[in-house]
Chains A and B, each alone.
Chain A
Amino acid sequence: MAKDILRKPGGFMDTFVYKPGQDKGNTHYCPGCGHGILHKLIAEALVDLGVVDRTIMVSPVGCSVFVYYYFATGNIQVAHGRAPAVATGLKRSNPDSIVISYQGDGDLAAIGGNNILHAANRGENITVFFVNNAIYGMTGGQMAPTTLLGQKTMTSPYGRKIENEGYPMKVVELLSTLSAPAYLERTSLDDSKNIAKTRKAVRKAIQCQIDGKGFSLVEVLSMCPSQWKTTPVESKKWIKERMIPYYPLGVKKDVIEERAGYFPPKIDIDDESIKEMLGLKKEKLFRDRAMSDVPEKYRNPQIKIAGFGGQGVLLLGQTLAEAGMRHGWNVSWIPSYGPEMRGGTANCQVNISEGPIGSPVVDFPTILVALNKPSLDKFEETVQPGGVVFYNTSMIDRKPKRNDIEAIGLPFSDIADELGSLKFANMVVVGAVLEKTKLIDMDIVKDALKEVIHNKKFVETNIVAIDRGAKAV
């Protein structure tokens, strides 16, 4: 595109307001740094392609950590080497956005090696600009995976040797062995001709994403005059004479033309579709209920249910949570396992609340169900004053010690045994808890059983167990 005037492209912010200090007009980069050149090419491309307003730049760790100072786009700065993973999430959750991961060689090729490999292998529709200057710049000039043989750095003071550090890593060649990537090219910033090629590659890589063609990456050989201890002009020569012979320029993979663009289907999320996803369809029994109908001390309960693995502890919690949801309340359920293999406790934690639930974790329950003795021993002290403890007298030969809590001991296992299997103990508990607390209507919890019990032939027997538990209180 012919322009009459070449000046700071609109992809940059007018003033770098996020940059600390007084100088809001210049970059933080050293004189002659290649990052600034590539920034300019990207900022120009974003404007010319008309995507500034829907672009998200992912800043790495390294000298370019402050990419977010400069671009008039959405910005996020991420953990070292994790830019492709974050970019994946951004792109998948915002398919209309243009997500650009900007990374250096320490970030991408060393600590982030596996991230870039798998993002490329998944064929994520993101664009990666990979600045290769053969050194760790920001941290003080240590050896990078891309440091050349013989190159002296702080951590290879005698020059990189094959015997010690292996060969410099050729990232685009490595990625080009994968089937998924659409476009991989290596360019350089060493002279005007190569800068023009880089400009073209930057545009092509972004266009590749716009067209839904999949993963694109441009490796840009760039200068670091400060850490190479050269002048900027000498550093251009160093790229040409030292880097390019080992890192040949050119397109390493380009299947853009062969591919049809893929645009993931849009998903509209509304209340109804959430209910659909959660399996809360209309034919199920629902009845909105005000928490004020529940006796005051049992309202908005934080419940911990603990016992041996195999006692149905987790299912018990799921049943209460599912049923609570049917009353129109917020619920949460999380399982928790101790490290003990035998004699320990498995537990689950359930919140049922009319208001929002801040955390699913229940450290201090208002209702504790203890199905075995270790559970009572471990959690009795954590029950909130005024709370209630249901404990299994079939397996616990003591009463709770505290006198500021309500204690209800019932032979849950013995009752279940009478019904034909110890496995029904959890539903006996459900019946007893709900009869005592009036938290959830019995018809609702019985309907909820159809959802949580996968083997439908056991639903009827479990309903019998609930009724027996209710009677036993």
Chain B
Amino acid sequence: MPKIVVQIDHCKGCGLCIDACPQQCIEEDSEVLNKLGYHPAKYKGQGCTGCGFCFYTCPEPDAIIVYKKDEEAK
């Protein structure tokens, strides 16, 4: 299955990926306060199609990694 990984200490919690995700499968992780002092984004664990919208709307170089290997991604 396609998935995303949020590298939490690179996330500034701006929420742009949450807004951009067509599947609404990203949320704010209110449980975690990262090293930068933000609640980072969190993948809900399912629903990702590997579209990459979150990656391209994320202003941080290293905050989101998208794995879209799965055939279902197309």
| Residues on A facing B (Cβ under 8 Å) | 3-9, 12, 23, 25-27, 29-37, 39-41, 43, 70, 189, 191-192, 195-196, 199, 225, 231-233, 236
Interface of A is mostly: mixed
**Closest A-chain residue to B5, C-beta based?**
A7
Give which listed residue, B55, B61, B69, contacts A27 with CB less than 8 A. B61
B66 touches A27 (CB 8 A): no
- A5-B68 contact in complex given A26-B12, A26-B36, A39-B61, C-beta closer than 8 Å: yes
CA distance A37 to B60 in the complex (A): 7
The 21 sampled A-B contact pairs (Cβ below 8 Å) are A4-B67, A5-B66, A5-B67, A5-B68, A5-B69, A6-B52, A7-B55, A7-B62, A25-B9, A25-B10, A26-B62, A31-B59, A32-B14, A32-B15, A34-B59, A36-B58, A36-B60, A70-B61, A192-B56, A233-B15, A233-B16
* B60 / chain A contacts, CB cutoff of 8 Å: 26-27, 36
A32 touches B16 (CB 8 A): yes
Measured between alpha carbons, how far is A233 from B28 in the docked complex, in Å? 13
Across the interface, which residues of B come within 8 angstroms of A41, CB to CB? 56
Say yes or no for B25: interface residue by CB 8 A criterion: no
Q: Are A6 and B61 in contact (CB under 8 A)?
A: no
Check A8 against B61 for contact (C-beta < 8 Å). Answer: yes
Other than the given A12-B61, A27-B59, A192-B22, 11 more pairs (CB < 8 A) read: A6-B52, A7-B62, A8-B62, A9-B61, A23-B36, A26-B10, A37-B58, A191-B20, A195-B56, A232-B14, A233-B19
- Complex Cα–Cα for A256 and B53 (A): 29
Give the residue among B13, B15, B57 with the most A Cβ atoms within 10 A: B57
Chain B residues contacting A189 (CB-CB under 8 Å) are: 57
Residue of B nearest to A9 (CB): B61
Q: Verify A40–B58 contact, CB threshold 8 A.
A: yes
Contact for A32 among B10, B12, B36, B55, CB less than 8 A: B12
B33 in the interface, Cβ–Cβ < 8 Å? no
Chain A CB within 8 A of B38 CB: yes
How many Å lie between the Cα of A4 and that of B19 in the bound state? 23
Is A25 a contact of B59 with CB atoms below 8 Å? no
CB distance from A204 to the nearest CB of B (A): 17
Once bound together, how far apart are the Cα atoms of A27 and B66, in whole Å?
Answer: 20
Distance A161 CA – B15 CA, assembled complex (angstroms): 33
Q: Cα distance A9–B64 when bound, in Å? A: 12
Q: Once the chains bind, are B15 and A231 in contact (CB under 8 Å)?
A: yes
| Smallest beta-carbon distance B61→chain A, Å | 5
Contacts A31-B13, A232-B16 given; indicate if A6 touches B68 (C-beta within 8 A).
yes
CB distance from B51 to the nearest CB of A (A): 8
Q: Are A31 and B68 in contact (CB under 8 A)?
A: no
CB-contacts of B1-25 with A (<8 A): 9-10, 12-16, 18-20, 22
CB of B32 closer than 8 Å to a CB of A: no
Task: Tell me, in angstroms, the Cα distance from A232 to B14 when the chains sit together.
Answer: 6
Do A31 and B14 have beta carbons less than 8 Å apart?
yes
Residues of A near B55 (CB, < 8 A) are 6-7
CA A157 to CA B36, docked complex, whole Å: 33
Asked, given contacts A4-B67, A4-B68, whether A31 binds B12 with beta carbons under 8 Å apart, the answer is yes
Output the residue of A31, A35, A191, A195 with the most chain B CB within 10 A: A31
Given the complex of chains A and B, what is the CA–CA distance between A231 and B13 in angstroms? 11
B56 with A40: CB separation less than 8 A = yes
Which residues in A have their C-beta under 8 angstroms from that of B53?
192, 195
Q: How far is the CA of A225 from the CA of B13 in the complex (A)?
A: 13
CB-CB under 8 A from A29, the residues of chain B are 59
Partner of B65, one of A7, A30, A40, A196: A7
Residue in A36, A196, A225, A231 with the greatest tally of chain B CB atoms within 10 Å: A36
Please name the residue on chain A nearest to B13 by beta carbon: A31
Residues from chain A with a CB closer than 8 A to the CB of B65 are: 5-7
Cα separation A27 to B59 with both chains bound (whole Å)? 8
